[in-house]
Structure 1
Amino acid sequence: MKGTRFREVTREALGNILREVKIAIKPLPRPDKWVFIVGCYNSGTTLLSELIGRHPSVSALPTEGHFITDQFKKDYDLGIPRMWVDREDMFRLTENDEGPDVVRIKKEWGMRLDLSKRVLVEKSPPNTGRTRWFQEHFENAHFIGIVRNGYAVAEGISRKGDPKSIKDGWPIEKSAWQWARSNQIMLDDAEHLTNFHLLRYEDLAASPKGELDKIARFLSLPSFPDISQENFSIHERNDSVKDMNQTSIEKLSAADIAKINTIAGFMLDRLSYERIA
């Protein structure tokens, strides 16, 4: 047993050394633009990253960027999956914060990106609280925010709560607050950003090509290829781009809806989502 454990520790140590060597020799990414996709969990950030990554001038990280660097705290590691506003103090960064090692983050991300592309894309819902910091430290940073109906988002966050952290999923009132507060931070911080584009999940589902071409203009890129007939593997689904709001909303009880209205009604109104009685 001791020998087996020694070999495991040795392999881990060698793996860490090899990773450090790779980071050290990795060239620093220098794209025309860094693009950050932000928004609440379950709002379509994964779908949007997948769609934008289909552009021939774009390279998008294959998973959430905060999982690929050791410089940011992970919501899952802290026992608050899909609930970063519960520890806002550990996730929030502005231009006034010194923050983590910028060069290391860029190199860690660069190991998973095609650096020959003009535009490099990262998406992580917790980075919604760090947009002002990214603008300060990433050259020509552009931000694409996506919002989605709060009833559908709250239902999804509650349903997908990690059973390792919370057995029966998140209470609907906490999920509603995660949606409301993260969008509040995103919209308020957007007033400090030079390049910010906002879109709605519902509009993306209704007209993927139209919304993507708006993004292309925002990023000064040629139009996107037509993806209307393509399927995408997004979490547990493999399907074309569809609005899944009604499916989620139908799972809510009257009590759930009342709690969402009480806790997140101010953001439903701000984003012009019609309240359900």
Structure 2
Amino acid sequence: MINRAPIFVNGFQRGGTNILVNFITSHPHVCAVGETQKIFYGRHKEALYKQYIQRVSYLPIFLAARQHIFWPERFYERNKLPTLIKHYTDWVFYRNKLASPHNTYEDPHMVITKEELAQTRFLCKNVNGVVFASHVFADMYPDATFIGLIRNGFALCESFIRRGWTAERFGRMYETVCQRIIKDAAQLDNYHLVRFEDIITNPVASAQTIYSYLHLDITKVSKFRLQAKKSMTTNGKRKYAFGGNVDREVHWFPIDQLEQYIQKDVNKNQIARLRDTDKKVFLQYAHASMEKLGYLS
């Protein structure tokens, strides 16, 4: 493979993966390439012709796998890829790494050459059903590291209900994805579980632990990047913890100041807005994972 020691972050949409990805990509030797499904299916905000180009480039993978292997709404076992298609998929990741729009640096005047960028480890985010592709990536990259981000399902349930889901639909999805993450963490080498709650309550210790999982030297990071995103406050309104009114605007903070810019009560605020009836329905489908992950104790 062209790429070496890639990093895959597995979790839920709107589940806190953004802060984890920013922690990791603060390191100069890591390059974010975005979400897997957007790499292969295109981004909704892109011009249509770009989306079509990406979907055409995905066609060989679809035909070889005989399934939508990187689609987040498909919750089934993924087929392994033939050797030739593995190398093709690796090349697509490599191409996206060299052209990634996600990378900014603490020094805005910093210039990184294509040769230097080529040597970085790419980080890709797998959300919802794409977590089922971990075995495919482990087969492609024996040196890959996987980080499974888990989070209290009640908080996530509020977020999804606010966006039109039912408690039953999200409960089924939460249980399916969590069980897969738990199973893969037990079966795959270099697969580590990280709690969202640990990141927001103790970001410094969490960053140190995550970097140790990834064999990254944290001393090479003088500042950590965060992106401005709205989160739930105690009065039910959503606002930015830092920055102005530009969503996903990148800011850099010294590691000892991270706690000042991360909202610690976001879970509590979201759970407070979840109706008891929705909690009960959610638990009818997600009780096993919530109990296994310690969110019911």
**TM-score, L = length of structure 2:** 0.67
2:196 aligned partner, one-letter code: Y
**Pick aligned residue for 1:260 from 255, 274, 282:** 282
In the alignment, the residues of structure 2 paired with residue 43 and residue 100 of structure 1 have an alpha-carbon distance, to the nearest angstrom, of 34
Letter in structure 1 aligned against 2:189:
T
1:59–1:121: 8 Å Cα contact kept in structure 2? yes
Shift in alpha-carbon separation, 1:200–1:138, aligned structure 2, 3 A: same
Cα deviation, residue 120, structure 1:
1.4
Paired residue for 2:86? Answer: 102
2:35–2:126 Cα contact (<8 Å) kept: yes
| Cα distance between partner residues in 2 of 1:261 and 1:58 | 38
Residue deviations 1:34-81 (CA, integer Å, cap 9, x gap): 1100022222112211221111111111x31221124378xxxxxxxx
The alignment partner of 1:242 has SS state of coil
The residue that corresponds to 1:93 in the other structure is 78
Secondary structure of 1:111's aligned partner: helix
The structure-2 alpha-carbon separation of the partners of 1:247 and 1:187, relative to structure 1 and needing over 3 Å to count, comes to: same
1:202 matched residue in structure 2? 197
Structure 1, gaps ≥5 residues long: 1-27, 74-81, 161-168
Alignment pair present for 1:67 and 2:51: no
Q: Hey, what's the Cα distance between the residues in 2 that align with 1:255 and 1:145?
A: 29
Task: Give the drift of 1:238.
Answer: 4.5
What is the correspondence of 1:1-277 to structure 2 with a 5 Å cutoff? Answer: 29-31=2-4, 33-61=5-33, 63-69=34-40, 70=55, 71=58, 84=73, 87-89=74-76, 92-93=77-78, 95=80, 98=82, 101-114=85-98, 115-125=117-127, 126-160=129-163, 169-223=164-218, 225=221, 227=223, 231-234=226-229, 238-239=240-241, 240-243=261-264, 244-274=266-296
Change (3 A) 1:100 1:192: farther
Task: Give the partner amino acid of 1:252.
Answer: L
Take 2:17 and 2:142, find their aligned partners in 1: how far apart are those partners? Answer: 22
Q: TM-score, normalised by structure 1?
A: 0.72
Would the aligned equivalents of 1:58 and 1:117 in 2 still touch at CA under 8 Å?
no
Q: Which runs of 5+ in 2 are unaligned?
A: 41-54, 63-70, 99-116, 232-238, 242-260
In the alignment of these two chains, the number of paired residues is 224
Which residue of structure 2 lines up, in the alignment, with residue 23 of structure 1? none
Higher mean C-alpha displacement, 115-124 vs 128-137: 115-124
Report the residue type matching 1:46 in the other structure: N
User: One-letter code of the match for 1:51?
Assistant: F
Residue by residue, what CA displacement relative to the aligned partner does 1:79-125 show, whole Å, maximum 9, x if unpaired?
Answer: xxx972xx323xx3265x65993233222222332543442110021
Deviations 1:173-223 (A, max 9, x none): 111221111010111122221111111000011122211111211121111
Aligned partners of 1:211, 1:52: CA distance in 2, in Å?
11
Give distance in 2, aligned partners of 1:273 and 1:212.
22
Q: Percent identity?
A: 22
